[in-house]
Structure 1
Amino acid sequence: MMRIGFHASHEQISPRQLLADVQHAERAGFQMAMCSDHLFPWSSQQGHSGYTWAWLGAALATTDLTFGCVSAPGQRYHPAVHAQKIATLGQMFPGRFWVALGSGENMNEHVTGDRWPTKEVRTRRLEECVDVIGRLLDGEEVTHDGLVTVDRARVWERADPRPLLVGPATSVASAARVARWADGLVTLNQPLDTLRELLAAYREAGGAGTASLQVHLSWAPTEEDAEAIAHEQWRSNVFPEPVNWDTDTPEAFDLIGEHVGPETVRQHVRVSSDLGQHRAWLQEYAELGFDDLYLHFVGQEQERFLDVFGEQVLPQLQ
């Protein structure tokens, strides 16, 4: 049966408010949650970026939800440090935490001062990190010399069960590639044909586990307000690769976002004041074969969205 979760956007909401929001989401009937892991927001209009890993401990301790996190090892985070964080949350909250390991964005990683690698090098670095993290979670002592260097690392706290290492993918090619190592798949809402091909590529390459979809949406009582929220908050998030990977500051995203109109935002965010339309969109994703949907209302004030969707959308879909 399809499950519906809440996406906690650290770039848009302060960690204190976001903790209250995810607790509210549980009361409203959302079954799980996932979050981002940024050092910078996508734009100055968003204006936040709390430390995800501290927040996750508080969120797991004050709800009964399962949580996932999309995070990038290899530059800002050494894979041994990453493994220790994953194992600690997994040990404290057994079976309730997973992490999607991605290759990252320059905006969050350039702070180390290291050169931002090409996409292929970043992907190979990620695959090395996944191997290191997995071995550390299994209790091995790891030494590794490659695109990352590890010297006799060991994680002393073991999580049972081992947290799932999920593969994030936004293209057909990347879905097939992460299938080599991933315990599940997570992606973003895109045209239905693209999502169908992406899912097929993952499964045909041997990808197992749960297929999850993060759905960007905007709802308000009027169509004008729903559109205004989406345009104000999410116009800096509509750019394809390599712009989204390589742009290095929120100010740069703000500049290029000035040229993005509401119609372009609608191609990336499900915008409607009609709850029936939102239900229909979500049902389409379920029929494609996604097991879990994580709803990301792109506004900054979550309370009304949580209450209305909890009462009038979730019950009809679950």
Structure 2
Amino acid sequence: MAMQLGYTMMTEQAGPKELVGHVVGAEEVGFDFAVSSDHFFPWLDEMGHSPNAWVTLGAAAQATSRIPLMTYVTCPSFRYHPAVVAQQAATLQILSDGRFTLGLGAGENLNEHVVGAGWPPADVRHEMLVEAVHIISDLFDGDGYTNHRGEHFDVESAKLWDLPEKRVPIGVAVSGKQSCRIAGELADAMIAVEPEAELGEHFDAAGGAGKPRIGQMPICFDTDRDAAVQRAHSLFRWFGFGWKVNAELPGPTAFDAAAQFVRPEDVAGSIPCGDDVEAVIEGAKEYAEAGFTHLALVQIGGDQQQPYLEWTRTTLMPAWREAFGS
């Protein structure tokens, strides 16, 4: 099965200028698409960054010419009002000449607590996401003014004055049956970080059949495997908790405390570390077999992107094309 190879602009581990330079390099190497996280905080203090994703993506849109761009993902419910997200997305679609996809999700406490609106349970967050997607879609329609009186949001005479020729596709992040139903009913693509075939099955059942499925997988490339394992442990020891946990923890200190008993060998057991290209391909095959059409890799280490890009050009890309035909 063909599966496209993506690059991740991980805002938690590099500054804005560096992120733009990295995605320019990713385009030159030949990545099929690029995604960007949208955070206010890094997961751990050691990661050390969290610039504004939308400003950075605007710069990336101007610095690149071919590579599709995507938020992975934006929460349109707390830090941002959905009307503001719609305006940002429409503007970025114009700047990128139609290369942008708006990835949306129900959010994480880590990033959304900063506006002091509290952190409701998951079912309420999903209600907010559904309402937000409807508002964004109405604004993308461009049919006059949007007025909305909802359970969670109000919109008063809103209109996007600069709409792109190509409507912005919307992807929705999923982790279970409820979010898959939302994505299948409302979205143009499914987003997930677990290679679980049942997610796609639930997405199909709710109307998602034939639509893209976009995954993400961390790796830690280094010619020194021990160095890769140590770096992965330092920066990504939080990764194995799963999104039901990750969405609830309030800040980097909480993630550090939750990960205090995670060992380097535990991380190495779940994240490909070193320069074994077959380990990366084997990990990616789990996503392909689960029906994913796109997979964005995360290279762990903000200062380790250039050697990763060169390794991708010489080693990973040929192996990927042979394995997945994209």
Per the normalisation by structure 1, the TM-score is 0.93
Gaps of 5+ in 1: none
1:36 match:
37
Gaps of 5+ in 2: 322-326
- Of 237, 240, 243 in structure 1, the residue corresponding to residue 239 of structure 2 is 237
Tell me how far apart the structure 2 counterparts of residues 28 and 90 of structure 1 sit (CA, whole Å). Answer: 23
Equivalent residue letter for 1:123? H
2:199 match:
198
Equivalent residue letter for 1:285? Y
C-alpha distance after superposition, 1:64-104 (max 9, x if no partner)? 21100010011110111111101111123232000111111
Task: Tell me, yes or no, if structure 1 residue 84 matches structure 2 residue 84.
Answer: no
- Of 141, 154, 159 in structure 1, the residue corresponding to residue 159 of structure 2 is 154
Equivalent residue letter for 1:35? S
C-alpha distance after superposition, 1:206-251 (max 9, x if no partner)? 2142111111112222332221121011012332344311211112
1:253 match:
255
**Contact 1:4-1:294 within 8 A present in 2 as well:** yes
Moved over 4 A (4+): none
C-alpha distance after superposition, 1:115-152 (max 9, x if no partner)? 21111111000100000000001113222222112112
- Of 292, 295, 299 in structure 1, the residue corresponding to residue 294 of structure 2 is 292
* 1:205 counterpart SS class: helix
Equivalent residue letter for 2:53? T
C-alpha distance after superposition, 1:167-224 (max 9, x if no partner)? 1112344223321111011111x3x5xx111122212222142111111112222332
Equivalent residue letter for 2:205? E
2:271 match:
269
**Contact 1:15-1:50 within 8 A present in 2 as well:** yes
2:324 match:
none
Task: Tell me, yes or no, if structure 1 residue 72 matches structure 2 residue 75.
Answer: yes
Aligned-pair CA distance for 1:62: 1.0
Per the normalisation by structure 2, the TM-score is 0.91
Tell me how far apart the structure 2 counterparts of residues 170 and 226 of structure 1 sit (CA, whole Å). Answer: 28
C-alpha distance after superposition, 1:40-59 (max 9, x if no partner)? 11110001000111111111
Change (3 A) 1:149 1:66: same
Aligned-pair CA distance for 1:272: 4.5
**Contact 1:11-1:47 within 8 A present in 2 as well:** yes
**Mean Cα deviation higher: 36-45 or 136-145:** 136-145
Tell me how far apart the structure 2 counterparts of residues 51 and 104 of structure 1 sit (CA, whole Å). Answer: 16
Task: Tell me, yes or no, if structure 1 residue 107 matches structure 2 residue 110.
Answer: yes
**Contact 2:8-2:296 within 8 A present in 1 as well:** yes
* 1:91 counterpart SS class: helix
**Contact 2:61-2:95 within 8 A present in 1 as well:** no
**Contact 2:185-2:207 within 8 A present in 1 as well:** yes
Tell me how far apart the structure 1 counterparts of residues 146 and 111 of structure 2 sit (CA, whole Å). Answer: 27
* Percent of paired sites with the same residue: 34
Change (3 A) 1:171 1:270: farther
